[in-house]
Chain A
């Protein structure tokens, strides 16, 4: 297994253990391995989204019937979500997002910086608790913390995988 597959499996296994059944996503290199695992597992289902905000509403819908979803997206997609996050704050829905960063540490593409740098302020403005991962040795604890804060404590939570953790994409 590649390094990316190893940490993707750690995240995926913990989500399955926490009864997350619906994996909604907009494709990104950073979440591709998790999505592949969710496609192959027999207790999980994937939903390819047209836009990230759909995933917020989709996870809210899952909660309404006692199920758990997750929204996987690249950092640029955070910019598509704020108004839909009104659901999470207003309804006190548990919500878990996993954001794979661009426009962050080591980024070479100037188009990625504006939204990348706005990810945490935008999420925090909508009441989402941000948990950032910079090193591999903090991942497991961070995933546990994100699962506790979302599905156990009922918060909106973003687990943010930074480019220090992911490595910057080389062009």
Chain B
């Protein structure tokens, strides 16, 4: 891997104002990094299983809340498990959806076993081939500013691939009860919408 980025610093650099978004993450490192950064804010829903679910779940949010900016954080292992979802996203073209794939080239949660992106697979090319209109790859910290501009300004849906060094995500013990986190997220969104 050519990466020099420490994933534990990534979320604050990409999303200096995380409260502006509805945040959906996949399992493992993607969930931990964003949960730690936002202290598990009520605009964040994380997965602890259901691998492959992050992108379609974020798509369901984005299509049903078209006035919100929706961000999906996923890992390379999870995304490869549901590559077809990129085609599903491209077919419906939700302008309010950004997908960020934190690519460490390995299955960190299960012991760091090598994944396809450490060999030959390039998920940015896959996203482009699936028909996602805006695709960018980041491999070093000097690209953060350009990445923020991409997430703000590029026509949606957007796909940002961030190659990071292998290594542990941020330590954070999040709420594992999905029935509770569902209600926290849902009630916060509905209350905000009611309040205008």
Which A residues fall within an 8 A CB radius of B?
21-22, 45, 47-51, 53-67, 69, 83-84, 86-87, 90-93
Contact = CB atoms under 8 A, between A and B. Distances in A.
Given A47-B92, A54-B88, A64 B56 contact: no
Nearest to B190: A66
Interface of B: 22, 24, 45, 47, 49-65, 68, 82-85, 87-88, 91-92, 178-179, 181-182, 185-186, 189-190, 193
Interface of chain A, helix or strand or loop or mixed? helix
Given A47-B88, A51-B82, A54-B56, A86 B49 contact: yes
A50 B186 contact: no
A61 B88 contact: no
Given A83-B51, A87-B50, A87-B53, A62 B178 contact: no
Nearest to B59: A58
B88 A60 contact: no
Nearest to A61: B60
A61 B178 contact: no
Nearest to B91: A48
A47 B58 CA distance: 13
A61 B182 contact: no
B64 A51 contact: no
Given A48-B88, A49-B88, A58 B50 contact: no
5 contacts: A21-B64, A57-B52, A58-B63, A62-B60, A86-B50
A22 B182 contact: no
A91 B92 contact: no
A91 B59 contact: no
Given A64-B45, A86-B49, A50 B60 contact: no
A63 B182 CA distance: 9
